[in-house]
Amino acid sequence: MDIELIEIREFLARHPPFDVLPAQVLDQLPRNLIVRYLRRGSAFPPEVADVSLYIVRSGAVEFRDGAGNLCEKLGEGDFFAGDCHLPDLPADWHGVASEDALLYLLACDRLQQLRDAHADFSRHFSRSLNERLRHAVSTIRRTYMQDVSVLGIRVMDLVKRPPVTIDAGCSIRDAARAMTEHKISSIMLLTDGRLTGILTDSTLRKRCIVDGVPADAPVADIVKHKVTTIAHDASVFEALMTMTQLQVYHLPVMDGERLVGIVTSSDLSRLQSTNTAFIASDIRKAQTVADLAMSSRTLPELQLQLSNASATAFHIGDALSSLTDAITGKLLHLAEAELGPPPVPYVWVVGGSQARQEQTSLSDQDNALILADTAQPDHDSYFAALAAKVSDGLNACGFSYCPGDAMATNPQWRQPLRKWRDYFATWIDRPEPKALMLACIFFDLRAVHGDATLLAELQREVLKKTRNNTVFIAYMAANALSHRPPLGFFRNFVLIQDGRHNDTIDIKHRGIIPIIDLARVFALSAGLPAVRTVERLRTAAASGALSREMSENLLDAFEYIATVRIQHQARQIRAGRAIDNFVSPAELSELERAHIKDAFSVIKDMQATLDNRYQLGRFR
């Protein structure tokens, strides 16, 4: 090995895509390079005979479009492949060395040889950024699947013994005896070999001891016959969510029609990597707001654990939203217990990230009350009190009051269904800036407690109005373009449109919200009921409102950026700091930066398409 060019070898080894080349190839690579120096202000690429890949060793190169806007800036370790007929930058962009630059040149034919021999390396130059992004996302998903973490485990892996069953015709005493014998807290009942019920310790306690049902009675008399089961190949995560949502502790495990075992909430709790089950069960058991606040304090820790277990942003959003729903539901139960039953049916709805199930721990609360149209003015005192209790409770649990007052405590957002219809009609017919701001909250609604049909009815009518409503959609689209992604990274800075640098990137407003906004535009214009961004993008593609390719690209971009955000917050939680959305480029690896930049490009493309489709220039 020629160690004497080791400086150049080490430099290449530090920077993608060269970092993936095998050591012996890297050893030889410096000998394939030519070194050039460009004085500040010189045109880039320089006019030289050989066509090459350019690698910036030091200094900087800028690209501007025909109108002189800065579009791209290359710094140490960045490369330019435009001369090798690889799709890189638009033809009308011109480059200039913005600082004295030392460049390594690799002849295009040698680059091609390397690409032919090394698929991993080649992928970095792959035709489309879509392919690159897809690969990045599948890599994070694979890590998640392979991780020997709680979330990767299948339900079947937790089943330790064959199911203990008893004929449904037996007496309660026989069933209790069998449970004692096997030292188990539940037993499954079979009728003609089919699962027809489940008897648990708590049922025994309640029905026999409290209610006084005699032990000789048939066991079938005291069990619930509607049994929730789970498939043997479901993930532990699904089991956890089922238990949390349905408030059950025991889930029989089925392989098709066949009963193969049981998982209990304590099986799940024993898994060390998470305490979602603990939190969920604490929430169930809570008697006071203070109890709930104790549980919710563990949510940042849970987010960290899930993130450590390589869960993607989607799974974490699911888990946190489910638990927040559970807390909200419990607060409503507690409030109803205190205030008495509601005078008319109502539904408690949540907006924003909780509605989209994209929540990170402790976001602000956005909520509203939709009352049945039978509500009378004097019923409002009941609902005002209900809203105050729940909203204060949420605040005590760390979900701060909404700064924009989009809460059920605000009389404006505590109204009968007919009033809500009027609101939406006004927003859709007269899309003023204030209306558009509210739209971002109230076009993403989900029922958490109460009569969900009230919301379903409202949503159906709203979507009928927005569908193919070009004027309204154009306003929404213009609003969706108000958050633009940055150009990329330059050194340890975030490069933004006007050529200035930021120290950090607000990954929520510049990466996540733009995609959420785009997805909302497509859903409303196609009249789709989905609220989750992922579902909106999928159904938009299915309905033809969005091309399948663009939908997949946006999904990949969304998953990638959201996961980067989760990892950023995990680092903050680990360091004991408050979480935020400001990611410093220094936190990211070179590869992560490259992928995020690809994700930004997807957003920019889609924004440009929208801009074009609705002629949004006239709104600015």
What is the rounded distance in angstroms from the CA atom of residue 391 to the CA atom of residue 27?
63
Peptide bond preceding 45 in cis form (omega within 30 of 0): yes
Closer residue to another protein, CB minimum distance, 35 or 145: 35
Choose among 90, 109, 6: nearest CA to 52.
109
- Write the burial class of residue 91 (CB in 10 Å: 0-12 exposed, 13-18 middle, 19+ buried): exposed
Tokens at 469, concatenated: 């409503």
Closer residue to another protein, CB minimum distance, 30 or 317: 30
CB neighbour list of residue 469: distance below 8 Å, 6 or more residues apart = 428, 525
Q: Shortest Cβ distance from residue 74 to another protein (Å)?
A: 15
Closer residue to another protein, CB minimum distance, 36 or 421: 36
Give the CB-side neighbour count of residue 292, counting CA atoms within 13 A.
25
Q: Shortest Cβ distance from residue 27 to another protein (Å)?
A: 13
Question: For tokens 């025991």, what's the residue?
Answer: 250
Closer residue to another protein, CB minimum distance, 6 or 337: 6
Pairing mode of beta strands 250-255, 230-231: parallel
Closer residue to another protein, CB minimum distance, 28 or 589: 28
Other CB atoms closer than 10 Å to residue 518's CB: what's the count? Answer: 27
Other CB atoms closer than 10 Å to residue 147's CB: what's the count? Answer: 16
Closer residue to another protein, CB minimum distance, 56 or 537: 56
What is the rounded distance in angstroms from the CA atom of residue 43 to the CA atom of residue 561?
34
CA angle 77, 142, 139 (to 5 degrees): 20
237 touches 151 (CB < 8 A): yes
Closer residue to another protein, CB minimum distance, 110 or 467: 110
Q: Shortest Cβ distance from residue 5 to another protein (Å)?
A: 7
Q: Shortest Cβ distance from residue 64 to another protein (Å)?
A: 20
Other CB atoms closer than 10 Å to residue 116's CB: what's the count? Answer: 10
What is the rounded distance in angstroms from the CA atom of residue 16 to the CA atom of residue 593?
10
What is the chain's length? 620
> What's the one-letter identity of residue 175?
A
Closer residue to another protein, CB minimum distance, 38 or 588: 38
E-strand spans in 201-320? 230-231, 250-255, 258-264
Q: Shortest Cβ distance from residue 491 to another protein (Å)?
A: 13
Closer residue to another protein, CB minimum distance, 107 or 159: 107
The binding site for another protein (CB under 8 A) comprises: 4-8, 11, 30-39, 41-42, 48-49, 57-59, 99-100, 102, 105
Q: Shortest Cβ distance from residue 498 to another protein (Å)?
A: 25
Choose among 26, 20, 14: nearest CA to 76.
14
Q: Shortest Cβ distance from residue 22 to another protein (Å)?
A: 20
What is the rounded distance in angstroms from the CA atom of residue 156 to the CA atom of residue 165?
18
Q: Would you tell me the crossing angle of helices 548-574 and 533-543 to the nearest 10 degrees?
A: 170
Q: Shortest Cβ distance from residue 93 to another protein (Å)?
A: 23
Q: Shortest Cβ distance from residue 16 to another protein (Å)?
A: 18
Q: Shortest Cβ distance from residue 267 to another protein (Å)?
A: 57
Closer residue to another protein, CB minimum distance, 30 or 252: 30
Phi, psi at residue 235, to the nearest 5°? -80, 160
Q: Shortest Cβ distance from residue 309 to another protein (Å)?
A: 40
Phi, psi at residue 460, to the nearest 5°? -60, -45
Closer residue to another protein, CB minimum distance, 9 or 520: 9
